[in-house]
């Protein structure tokens, strides 16, 4: 028996290190599993599972204030103010020798200079002791420099075009500024229409559609038997009344 006990003790001493290693390995592998399973003990019972929480991300939060959507930037159209309009009419209807179309001063004053509210262009009370630039109202100093397009300002411009070109002197002066003689008017062409266009549009580029429009007007007026003077009056009226020359 003593021999058997001695042999058994020797066998246990040999096997014990392997048993310890096996137990340690099992502990390292199994313990994280238990920890992961038991972490739910510390979770909020009111919260759902991980998958439900992930799914709720797309749901709107009633306490979240939505950001305002920003509109894309847009370019605002700027129109010439009353001072520019006055300068154009004064230049077109004043001959090289200083002769002015009838009532040029009163027309530009009544339909442009004192129309800052509709056409734009605040007045300068310090530069006009008589307040004529402000139409005798210093509140005009608060008018915007430029104004938006509106039917009222267009009606003022049309009024000036029709009254100034409605007189023989006004028509003669405007034609002479385009190097045309009222007593020897040629047929309208793309070449001689350009100076008419440039009286109001201070540019060298004449759109093809504009030329075609004026040439068609000539054809229509000729068909009605209108003389050359009336054809050129019509060409000047269409150009003067067109709104695009006011664009900045």
Domain spans of the chain?
82-246
Task: Please tell me the distance from the alpha carbon of residue 246 to that of residue 248, in angstroms, as a whole number.
Answer: 6
Lowest mean pLDDT among 4-8, 19-23, 130-134, 174-178: 19-23
With the C-alpha atoms ordered 21, 26, 27, 29, is the resulting torsion angle positive or negative?
Answer: positive
Q: What angle do CA 41, 42, 47 make, to 5 degrees?
A: 95
pLDDT digits (tens, 9 = 90+) for 92-143: 999 999 999 999 999 998 888 776 666 666 666 565 444 555 655 555 555 5
Q: Give pLDDT, residue 67.
A: 59
Residue 185 CA, chain-centre distance (Å), reads: 42
H or E element at residue 64: none
Q: Give pLDDT, residue 137.
A: 58
Cβ(59)–Cβ(137) below 8 Å: no
Q: Give pLDDT, residue 141.
A: 55
Check whether 154 has a pLDDT greater than 80. yes
Task: Please tell me the distance from the alpha carbon of residue 94 to that of residue 128, in angstroms, as a whole number.
Answer: 24
Check whether 210 has a pLDDT greater than 60. yes
Q: What angle do CA 98, 89, 239 make, to 5 degrees?
A: 125
Which residues contact residue 138 at a Cβ distance below 8 angstroms, ignoring those fewer than 6 apart?
123, 125, 131
Q: Considering the chain, what is the average pLDDT of its residues?
A: 74
Check whether 152 has a pLDDT greater than 60. yes
The larger pLDDT score, comparing residue 128 to residue 81, is at: 81
Average pLDDT over residues 57-63: 58
Lowest mean pLDDT among 5-19, 94-108, 174-188, 225-239: 5-19
Return the closest-CA partner of residue 144 out of 115, 182, 186. 115
What pTM, to 2 d.p., does this model score? 0.63
The larger pLDDT score, comparing residue 176 to residue 79, is at: 176
């Amino acid at each position: 028996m003593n021999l058997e006990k001695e042999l058994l003790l020797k066998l246990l001493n040999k096997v014990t290190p392997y048993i310890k290693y096996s137990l340690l390995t099992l502990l390292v592998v199994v313990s994280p599993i238990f920890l992961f399973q038991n972490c739910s003990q510390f979770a909020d019972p009111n919260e759902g599972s991980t998958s439900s929480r992930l799914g709720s991300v797309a749901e709107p939060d009633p306490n979240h204030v939505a950001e305002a959507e920003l509109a894309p930037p847009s370019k605002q159209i700027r129109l010439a103010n009353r001072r520019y309009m006055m300068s154009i009419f004064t230049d077109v209807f004043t001959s090289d020798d200083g002769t002015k179309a009838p009532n040029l001063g009163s027309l530009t004053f009544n339909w442009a200079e004192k129309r800052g509210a509709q056409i734009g262009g605040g007045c300068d009370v310090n530069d006009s002791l008589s307040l004529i630039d402000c139409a005798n109202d210093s509140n005009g100093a608060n008018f915007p420099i430029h104004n938006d397009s509106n039917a009222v300002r267009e009606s003022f411009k049309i009024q000036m075009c029709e009254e100034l070109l409605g007189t023989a002197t006004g028509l003669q002066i405007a034609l002479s500024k385009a190097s045309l003689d009222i007593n020897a008017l040629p047929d309208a062409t793309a070449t001689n229409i350009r100076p008419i266009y440039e009286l109001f549009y201070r540019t060298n580029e004449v759109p093809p559609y504009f030329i075609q429009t004026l040439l068609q007007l000539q054809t229509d007026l000729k068909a009605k038997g209108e003389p050359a003077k009336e054809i050129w009056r019509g060409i000047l009226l269409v150009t003067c009344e067109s709104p695009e020359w006011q664009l900045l």
